[in-house]
Amino acid sequence: MKMACPKMPRAMNAPDSLLRPLDALGLGGSETLYYNLPPARLVELAVRRGEARLVDCGPLATRTDPHTGRSPNDRFVVKEAGTEGEVGWGSVNRPISEATFDTLLDGMGRYARGRTLFVRDCYAGADPRYRIRVRVITEEAWHSLFAYNMFLRPAQPDELADFEPDYTVVDLCDFNAKPDKLPELNSSTFITLHLSRGLVLVGGTHYAGEIKKSIFSALNFILPAQGVLPMHCSANQANDGTNTAVFFGLSGTGKTTLSADASRTLIGDDEHGWSDDGVFNFEGGCYAKAIRLSPEGEPEIYQTTRQFGTIVENVILDDERCIDFDDATITENTRISYPIWMIPNASESGQGGQPETVVFLTADAFGVLPPIAKLSPEQAMYHFLSGYTAKVAG
């Protein structure tokens, strides 16, 4: 729905709960605001605006170079009184001052004036007891489609009538910071998380994975205090709901492939919580690696690339707009984003019981570990805590 008012176009059914917070963030001066558009409209706008191209059979193809993956050196957490003593500061959680954060937010507000913004309200966390409300604000239509694919979608439209987000992600991908004026930054790219305000700022990168990973970072902070272990893993279970399994591993080690086993029920492919009652997916979609994808090797995942609404990132297309999954000209980290319901054996609830099997996928190119090893509970605990893994060969 398209909205219009003195500061922004606003329709009669635009929720006031959306407009007031946008003004508070300094984003109320956009020329056009689109709220929770359906996938067909987002695809249409993405193509019309030159953000993406349609692929044979219906997917949307986008390019994010020069950033074809996450930018860990440009990721920061605001060091402020409310959470300073609860964050594990170091090379992963790099501190940034509240003053720098406010400068970035102010700059993004000025950048957004007179531009088009897309707003998506959604959820993270399949278990209602631990679910958080997420608002994603983007300047590109395909990023809003990515949020639709990857987060949990409201079951009923009236759920959003009084929606108040726990966390808001503002992703203005073409807004570049000025590190010469903000010395705490490493480059013009930034991903900054303010835990007390529930606010994430992303700029200087088109890579969509930053959107979902920023919320995963927030859940890493929130859930342990509630007795839930947040995990970077995939999960599935037997079709009768028993024998839940979780698969840990770096990107590219096989989490998505193994969890999409057609003989089992897919719970999720990347991010989960483990509570006293079992595991639950954080997401409503999958973000699978696409390099060398084939209908023979991964049929369930491959068929998602033949459906409308799927996003394919950084792939090479031939003259007939068919995807060459073997071509890594842009990057080895080619990706597919799709709603989890596109996998025929996906769980409707996104939840499973207590895991009976834990698999660590090391992709150990150095030969330190044997190809397959069965670990005792003590060895499994040591392996998890030590975090041993290796980069994928090549």
- Of 255, 264, 272, 289, the active-site residue reads 255
- Of 94, 115, 232, 306, the active-site residue reads 232
Q: Are 86 and 67 in contact (CB under 8 A)?
A: no
- Of 335, 347, 362, 383, the active-site residue reads 335
What span, in angstroms and rounded, lies between the C-alpha atoms of 150 and 286?
A: 6
CA 109: distance to chain centroid? 23
Residue 115 among the catalytic residues: no
Which residues, listed in sequence order, are joined to residue 338 by a DSSP beta bridge?
Answer: 286
Residue 240 among the catalytic residues: no
Residue 205 among the catalytic residues: no
Q: Long-range contacts: 382-391, Cβ < 8 Å, 24+?
A: 384/248, 384/360, 388/362, 389/249, 389/250, 389/253, 389/362, 389/363, 389/364, 390/362, 390/363, 390/364, 390/365, 390/366, 391/250, 391/363, 391/365
- Of 116, 270, 275, 347, the active-site residue reads 270
- Of 10, 67, 133, 213, the active-site residue reads 213
- Of 17, 83, 188, 251, the active-site residue reads 251
DSSP string, 322-381: -EETT--SS-S--EEEEEGGGSTTB-SS-EE-S-SEEEEE---TT--S-SS-PPPHHHHH
**How many CB atoms within 10 Å of residue 23?**
13
Residue 70 among the catalytic residues: yes
- Of 7, 41, 63, 70, the active-site residue reads 70
Residue 259 among the catalytic residues: no
- Of 192, 256, 304, 362, the active-site residue reads 256
Residue 255 among the catalytic residues: yes
Residue 251 among the catalytic residues: yes
49, HSE (Cβ side, Cα atoms, 13 Å): 16
Active site residues: 70, 213, 232, 251, 255-256, 270, 335
